[in-house]
Amino acid sequence: MIGAPMYNLSIPTPLKARIDRVAVAGKTFRYAATGPEGLLQGKKAFIASARGGVYSAGSPAAALEHQESYLIGLLAFLGVIDVTVVRAEGLALGAQAKDAAISQALAVESPEQAQLRTRFDPFLLSRDAERRALIDAESVSQLINQFDQRLRACAGVTVDSTAHLITSAWIDERSGITGALASVRGWFVDPDRFSNAWIVNVTELVTKLDHAAKPSC
Ligand SMILES: Cc1cc2nc3c(=O)[nH]c(=O)nc-3n(C[C@H](O)[C@H](O)[C@H](O)COP(=O)(O)O)c2cc1C
């Protein structure tokens, strides 16, 4: 993750100094018989780019852009070709332009996020309903009881409901809410509440989700 404002058409001196410490032959690249070879293959990079003016492709100043292009070129030299750039530019062009640039940058999703979102949107929608129910419930224990009864009463629905909840908790966990998955999974693998077969299913579901998240899928 590289935070990179544009300074005088390029990157700030401290960032360049850091790069000079990292881009070292034998550490992050090497000289092979056919030429230099990056040693960081298979890694991902994110560049958070900020600049006062506008330099994106097609703009009049595009040819002066030596910030993102330099970083992308350097990363490729080190073997990192999976690079996502999140850009806020035109930040010095007035308050309105600045707000618009920041909103646009915040709305950018990584390709992986976009893929997960498409796959799990339906699950997230059903989780929304659960959250609304949580807000409406008079107490958490009442909600848990209702939830428990609902799951037990509707044999045909239980597996789906569980899958929805676990999947959305899994997404929460991957979005940085540490412990979300463990707490939901803990509830569904409680032997006092559920059969062994059920617990095996839940465990398998989490394994499948972990597997589905691998980029090769
Ligand atoms: C020393 C310096 C040089 C800058 N050079 C440029 C430049 O060449 N082009 C540009 O569009 N903005 C330039 N800026 C503006 C910054 O890119 C912009 O303010 C950016 O938002 C800085 O990020 P920060 O707010 O996270 O520090 C420069 C700012 C400073 C302090």
Read off the DSSP letter of residue 25.
B
What predicted TM-score, i.e. pTM, was given to this entire model? Answer: 0.60
Q: How many residues does the chain have?
A: 217
- Distance in angstroms (rounded) separating the CA atoms of residues 57 and 90: 14
Q: Atom 7 (ligand 1): residue with closest C-alpha? A: 8
Mind listing the pLDDT tens digit for each residue in 57-79?
999 999 999 999 999 999 999 99
114-128 residues labelled b (16+ CB within 10 A) or e (exposed): eebeeebeebeeebe
- Distance in angstroms (rounded) separating the CA atoms of residues 186 and 198: 13
Q: In the chain, what are the domain boundaries?
A: 2-108, 113-212
Mind listing the pLDDT tens digit for each residue in 9-67?
999 999 999 999 999 999 999 999 999 999 999 999 999 999 999 999 999 999 999 99
Q: Atom 28 (ligand 1): residue with closest C-alpha? A: 7
Mind listing the pLDDT tens digit for each residue in 194-210?
677 767 766 776 676 66
| Spacing, Cα 17 to ligand 1 middle (Å) | 18
Phi-psi region of 42 (alpha: psi -120 to 50; beta: other; left: phi over 0): left
Q: 6 CB under 6 A from ligand 1?
A: yes
Whether residue 135 has pLDDT greater than 50:
yes
Q: Atom 19 (ligand 1): residue with closest C-alpha? A: 52
Mind listing the pLDDT tens digit for each residue in 97-106?
999 998 888 8
Share of the chain above pLDDT 90, in %: 44
Nearest Cα residue to 212 out of 89, 119, 114:
119
For ligand 1, what atom is nearest to the CA of residue 91? 21
Q: Does domain 2-108 match CATH 3.40.50.360?
A: yes
